[in-house]
Amino acid sequence: MSVPVAILDYGMGNLGSVANMIRHVGGQAELVAEPDALESCQKIILPGVGQFGEGMRRLREGDWIAALTTARERGAWILGICLGMQLLTQSSEESECDGLGWFNFQAKRILDHTDSGERRRVPHMGWNLAEFRGEANGALADPGRYYFVHSYCVANVDDPRSWAITEYEGLRFSSAIRDERVMGVQFHPEKSHRYGKALVRHFMELADRA
């Protein structure tokens, strides 16, 4: 039987929606409110809605950072969602504090104008396409349609760890990143219907096959 997916309950995510999505694709969801509970978890989701600095403050003050780092080092599969993806990076222009630093990327503010001076709507909100690279092409609809709500993004599209690319009003950014068993998605799979289900199922199947 597939092991449960641990969802961090640190006060910064749509926990119920994420748990429901996991159940919809046949998995077991477990809300984890104490860092020590991650010791035996092999599938971990770091959700996130809100401000980068506040997210890192809650992780730091809740003693989550050491627990997450230990889980990563022992080979757990970890998925960051929206702000959770940005927290995996070195830093964000939204805050002066450091992120987890697992990806040497920076989340940068989406400018309200294009290179040619045309107005760009910020935040990027609504449905958009994400084109996945590599082995994901065999498991995910490519390009898939996902739901986004964000004003900051990771723009390292030429880095091999940029797992999916999205274009928004003249801006190309990394809508998903991956380094071995750690991955993040800028969109909300829990709000993305069949495409979101495919992404969550893919994450769970990768962990089950490992």
- Spell out the domain ranges in the chain: 5-209
| pLDDT surpasses 70 at 141 | no
Q: 143: pLDDT confidence band, cut at 50, 70 and 90?
A: confident
Residue 1: band (very low, low, confident or very high) from pLDDT cuts 50, 70, 90: very low
202 as an active site residue: the answer is no
Q: Pick the catalytic residue: 41, 94, 153, 188?
A: 188
C-alpha to C-alpha distances, 155 to 72, 108, 139, 163, nearest whole angstrom: 24, 8, 24, 12
From residue 144, alpha-carbon distances to 133, 159, 180, 194 in Å are 12, 21, 22, 9
Name 91's bridge partners. Answer: 98, 106
Split at pLDDT 50, 70, 90, the class of 172 is: very high
Cα angle 47, 209, 136 (rounded to 5 degrees) comes to 65
Whether the CB-CB separation of 82 and 186 falls below 8 Å is answered with yes
pLDDT score recorded for residue 96: 95
Q: What is the pLDDT of residue 109?
A: 98
Assess whether 113 carries a catalytic annotation: no
Average pLDDT of the chain is: 94
- Please say if 97 is a catalytic residue: no
Residue pLDDT, tens place only, 88-123: 999 999 999 999 999 999 999 999 999 899 999 999
Q: How far apart are CA 171 and CA 31, in angstroms?
A: 35
pLDDT (mean) for 15-21: 95
Fold for the domain defined by 5-209: Rossmann fold (3.40.50)
Region 11-34: mean pLDDT is: 94
pLDDT in tens, 147-160: 999 999 999 999 99
pLDDT 10s digits, 40-65: 999 999 999 999 999 999 999 999 99
* Contact indicator for 83, 50 with CB cutoff of 8 Å: yes
Q: Which of 41, 150, 190, 202 is catalytic?
A: 190
Catalytic residue among 41, 82, 124, 202: 82
